[in-house]
Amino acid sequence: AQSVSQHNHHVILSEAASLELGCNYSYGGTVNLFWYVQYPGQHLQLLLKYFSGDPLVKGIKGFEAEFIKSKFSFNLRKPSVQWSDTAEYFCAALPSGGSYIPTFGRGTSLIVHP
Amino acid sequence: DTGVSQNPRHKITKRGQNVTFRCDPISEHNRLYWYRQTLGQGPEFLTYFQNEAQLEKSRLLSDRFSAERPKGSFSTLEIQRTEQGDSAMYLCATRDRMNTEAFFGQGTRLTVV
């Protein structure tokens, strides 16, 4: 069964610091990858997604992620975080073909101090 | 507003009671998922519908849980004889035919006392 691992469960940063959140997936075939964000009291919403092509994907609010197939990784980055980036971040994987069920990691709680 | 609507937003029930949640998907989204999320965890898959057909069920889904999606539109998730361990946020998500990302509702927070 496929699984998604997020290594950092809690991250605390000061504004303007750089961010990198790790995500690894276990699935041997072609996979679609996502990062979702959940701001306090709000629903899960998509930050960015990777289906094919350029492994460096740019999303909303200055976030980007890099797909490294050899490492089964899809890490999320932002060069300079803001207080408003405080949220839960979830990585998800969806195999191409077969099961159409997205699998989520356990999430990373990010707190950004002003 | 994502367009996926879940009701109720909050539900407090006594142990042993039955509860039912509703999800109204974005129109024309033929794939619908139910997930459960507990504190400090990511969404855990419960069940999946493609149109009206329930195609997958997680082993997490005990026989006290049942889900329906009549006519491939809205979906309901019923939990019978609730237990304290059922306390969680129940999330509904939908996707369209083009295999794009899932859109989530606000969730229903269930508290079993």
Q: Which two tokens stand for residue A43?
A: 């629903």
Contacts with A94 from chain B: Cβ below 8 Å: 99
Name A38's Cβ contacts closer than 8 Å, sequence gap at least 6.
Answer: A44, A45, A87, A88, A89, A90, A107
Residue A6: CB atoms within 10 A of its CB come to 20
Q: How far is A47 from chain B (nearest CA, A)?
A: 10
CB contact under 8 A, B43 and A43: no
Listed in sequence order, the residues at least 6 apart from B97 whose beta carbon sits closer than 8 Å to its beta carbon are B28, B30, B31
pLDDT tens digits for A26-53?
987 888 999 999 999 899 999 999 988 9
Q: List the structure tokens of B52.
A: 């009206």
Residue A46 touches partner B, C-beta closer than 8 Å: yes
The residues, any chain, with a CB within 8 Å of residue B51's CB and separated by 6 or more, are B30, B69, B72
* A75/B54 Cα distance (integer angstroms): 33
User: Given an 8 Å threshold on Cβ–Cβ distance, is B102 in contact with A102?
Assistant: yes
Nearest beta carbon to residue A34 from set B40, B50, B101: B101
- Put simply, whether A60 touches B (Cβ < 8 Å) is no
Main-chain phi, psi angles of A73, to 5 degrees: -125, 155
pLDDT band (50, 70, 90) for residue A66: very high
As beta bridge partners, residue A93 has A33, A103
Strands B44-50 and B19-24 turn out to be unpaired
Q: Do B105 and A102 touch (CB under 8 A)?
A: no
- Closest partner residue to A90 among B33, B42, B100, by Cβ? B42
* pLDDT surpasses 80 at A1: no
Task: Check if the beta carbon of residue B33 is closer than 8 Å to that of residue B102.
Answer: yes
Distance from CA of A109 to the nearest CA of B (A): 8
Encode pLDDT of B50-93 as tens digits: 999 999 999 878 899 999 999 889 999 999 999 999 999 999 99
Question: Which of A25, A96, A101 is best to mutate for the B interface (most B CBs within 10 A)?
Answer: A101
Closest Cα in chain B, distance from residue A105 (Å): 6
Residue positions counted in chain A: 114
The DSSP symbol for B9 reads S
